[in-house]
Amino acid sequence: MTLTETAFQKCISPSCGAVFEVDDVLVTCRQCGDLLDVVYDWNRSQPPDSLRQFERDWRNRTDPLCFSGVWRFHSLLPFALREQVVTIGEGQTLLQPADSVGNYVGLNADRLFLQYEGLNPSGSFKDNGMSAAFTHARMIGARRAACASTGNTSASLAMYCAVTRRMQAIIFVGSGKISYGKLAQALDYGALTVQISGDFDDAMARVQEVSKKLGIYLVNSVNPFRLEGQKTIMFRVLEALRWEIPDWIIVPGGNLGNSSAFGKAFAELHALGLIDRIPRLAVINAAGANTLHELYEVRGVRWGAGKETDEAIDSYYQQLDDEQRKASTIASAIEINRPVNLRKCLRALDVCNGVVRQVTDQAILDAKAQVGAGGIGCEPASAASVAGARQLREEGLISQNDRVVCILTGHLLKDPNATIAYHTTDQQEFNRVLGNRGVQSAAFANRAVAVANDPDAIIKAIQLYS
Ligand SMILES: *Cc1c(COP(=O)(O)O)cnc(C)c1O
Ligand SMILES: [Zn+2]
């Protein structure tokens, strides 16, 4: 059987629903311009009878597809033939019980889990999706691939290009907006790095224009194949919970690819009869980049309201332009005002009875310090999930006995500046990096002890502080 009989691309607009071949290179619907889904004819593609089947594959892990945390679930994202898959062992990530962080959030013991996606080869969850997009790019014979990025997508793309030697990476970044950890990766892995004078939203607009003109394969999260890879984060969470469904999945919201992918994953598992319940989804915005929160919670915008939804979104974007409002948060990975997957995320919130919250940079950094003190370091954007969990717990929407999974999207070392500034004893440095963000205190700072270059003084200090 050929692939074109089992997998398709389909416009998400209920009033359009146009269908395209899986090996068509599109970023949006050719008929109406809406986003695309990868959809499957499950009657032909042989989905699993039970999720437990996946446990068997681990025994065959000398096969790279069984080793990969993405491609072990190939039968739930069967858009490529096994021999077409590009994998470098992504998705070996960890669902970690985290009672100290759970205590901070306000949950009982054994109730909070951190899904640590910082363990991916490039240090963020983006590798899950990049492996899938790269596989599609290979299927259609692309030679160059591009993305706009707040940093982690470009690090991931640069890594896949360098390791597999299959494509040239071209990355678009806003000026001054990318953290050094991430920029260092892109440069070291040899990506052609184009620094635009503008912010992420500008870089996003330019990369779409330019890629179209030059025929470059686009791997931004508007690319529907990336989201197929990101579905597997949820498969791994369920697997680690022995296929039990948690009460809450909590994820930071930037371009809203992850939240969209999670909603799709649960909708598909449910439709296939592989799960009998869908967890609730909480998407957490930074207060300085809160488009989803504003639209969903304040203006009541919902999926499926047709023209009304479009008009509400358009008028909000117009307002952002009129007020010249730019996204601003220490959590650079979610510093985005025009999330490209907005409409898919609204659909995911509908599927998962979801909620959206916004958290301040102060709350993000405090939560991040708690995560770090628990032994798993994350970058600021990741900690939005924990800060959001705490807020929802305070509101009483999450109860103390709920089973909660927070996604930690990226590794601590991606953005050491924010961490060092939080823990510093140097008030000037604190103000320079964090003060202009409205961050005033560092309740959980672990400050270095300054001491003279003298053994007695050092011994005294250790005795005093240990
Ligand atoms: C990309 C990214 C996000 C945002 O994820 P979306 O899928 O764009 O909402 C959050 N945290 C980190 C570390 C990221 O790299
Ligand atoms: Zn369409």
pLDDT in tens, 115-153: 999 999 999 999 999 999 999 999 999 999 999 888 899
Name the closest-CA residue to atom 13, ligand 1: 410
Name the closest-CA residue to atom 8, ligand 1: 255
Residue 162 lies in a domain: no
SS in 3 state form for the chain?
CCHHHCEEEEECCCCCCCEEECCCCCCCCCCCCCCEEEEECHHHHCCCCCCCHHHHHHHHCCCHHHHCCCHHHHHHCCCCCHHHCCCCCCCCCEEEECHHHHHHHCCCCCCEEEEEHHHCCCCECHHHHHHHHHHHHHHCCCCEEEEECCCHHHHHHHHHHHHHCCCEEEEEEECCCCCHHHHHHHHHCCCEEEEECCCHHHHHHHHHHHHHHHCCEECCCCCHHHHHHHHHHHHHHHHHCCCCCCCEEEEECCCCHHHHHHHHHHHHHHHCCCCCCCCEEEEEEECCECHHHHHHHHCCCCCCCCHHHHHHHHHHHHHHHHCCCCCCCCCHHHCCCCCCCHHHHHHHHHHCCCEEEEECHHHHHHHHHHHHHCCCCECHHHHHHHHHHHHHHHHCCCCCCCCEEEEECEEHHHCHHHHHHHHCCCHHHHHHHCHHHCCCCCCCCCCCCCCCCCHHHHHHHHHHHC
Residue 235 lies in a domain: yes
- In this prediction, residue 330 carries a pLDDT of 94
CA 457 to centroid of ligand 1, rounded, Å = 45
Q: Which ligand is nearest to the CA of 409?
A: 1
Q: Which ligand is nearest to the CA of 340?
A: 1
Residue 185 lies in a domain: no
CA 19 to centroid of ligand 2, rounded, Å = 8
Residue 367 lies in a domain: yes
CA 228 to centroid of ligand 2, rounded, Å = 19
pLDDT < 50: residue spans in the chain? 1
Residue 299 lies in a domain: yes
Q: Mind listing the pLDDT tens digit for each residue in 34-88?
A: 999 999 999 998 999 999 999 988 889 899 999 999 999 999 999 999 999 999 9
Its domain, for residue 253, covers 94-122+226-418
CA 152 to centroid of ligand 1, rounded, Å = 8
- In this prediction, residue 3 carries a pLDDT of 59
- In this prediction, residue 1 carries a pLDDT of 43
Name the closest-CA residue to atom 15, ligand 1: 152
- In this prediction, residue 370 carries a pLDDT of 98
- In this prediction, residue 178 carries a pLDDT of 78
Residue 281 lies in a domain: yes
Name the closest-CA residue to atom 14, ligand 1: 333
Residue 236's CATH number: 3.40.50.1100
From 35, 122, 124, give the residue whose CB has the most ligand 1 atoms within 8 Å, as the site to mutate: 124
Residue 217 lies in a domain: no
Please tell me the pTM assigned to this model. Answer: 0.96
Q: Which ligand is nearest to the CA of 26?
A: 2
Residue 214 lies in a domain: no
From 228, 329, 334, give the residue whose CB has the most ligand 1 atoms within 8 Å, as the site to mutate: 334
Answer whether 379's CB lies under 8 Å from 364's CB.
no
The ligand 1 atom at the shortest distance from the C-alpha of residue 283 is: 9
Q: Which ligand is nearest to the CA of 229?
A: 1
| Total count of domains within the chain | 1
What whole-number distance in Å separates Cα of residue 197 and Cα of residue 176? Answer: 9
Name the closest-CA residue to atom 2, ligand 1: 333
Pocket of ligand 1 (CB under 6 A): 124, 126, 152, 221, 252-258, 333-334, 379, 381-382, 409-410
What whole-number distance in Å separates Cα of residue 291 and Cα of residue 188? Answer: 34
Dihedral sign, CA of 230, 108, 361, 114?
A: negative
Name residues whose C-beta falls within 8 Å of residue 388's C-beta, 6 or more positions apart in sequence.
250, 252, 282, 284, 357, 359
